Amino acid sequence: MDSEQIDGFLSAWRKGVIEIGKIHREGGDYIKSAKNFINTHYAFEETDVLFKPTFTKETVFRNNKKDALSYFIGGDIPEDNGFALKPWEDIQLDELNTLTEEGLTAAMGTLKFKPYKKEETTLVAFTFIFIKIGDNLKIKVHHSSPVT
């Protein structure tokens, strides 16, 4: 896995989160968009995934596809308000460090999330561990938290 492939994946991930919120805001099928986003970016269909989303307190982990969907658009977990539905106007990659060993690649960095039509940003630290499925990267481990 080269840095160009990682950069492309992270760009697609950021655009995907923004797109879910945009489709929701415009009254479109955001549920379908969120399902496609998860299928494209997370390896739930292929293997076990560990997912610790940014803003969780009561149910800390979302280690299956249904719970991941709940985090992104709301669902069965009471604290889930739909992270992707905020909506976000812009998500900038602020810092990125990568490490590849024995078939796995880890990316660790920070993202600046800017809500739609607002000026403040939220800085989030993340770690993604990728696996390769065919020619594509997918997330096997996702851990993120706000930087305070």
> What is the domain-level CATH number for residue 119?
3.10.450.50
Residue-wise pLDDT for 62-97, tens only, equals 999 999 999 999 999 999 999 999 999 999 999 999
User: Domains in the chain: how many in total?
Assistant: 1
Residue 1 has pLDDT above 70, yes or no: no
> How far apart are the C-alpha atoms of 139 and 148, rounded to whole Å?
25
The secondary structure of residue 42, as a DSSP letter, is B
State residue 2's pLDDT score. Answer: 79
SS3 102: coil
Low-confidence winner among 28-37, 52-61, 85-94, 100-109 (lowest mean pLDDT): 100-109
pTM: 0.95
Residue 25 tokens read as: 């805001």
For residues 104-122, give the mean pLDDT.
95
And the tokens for 124? 């989030």
Domain that holds residue 120: 3-146
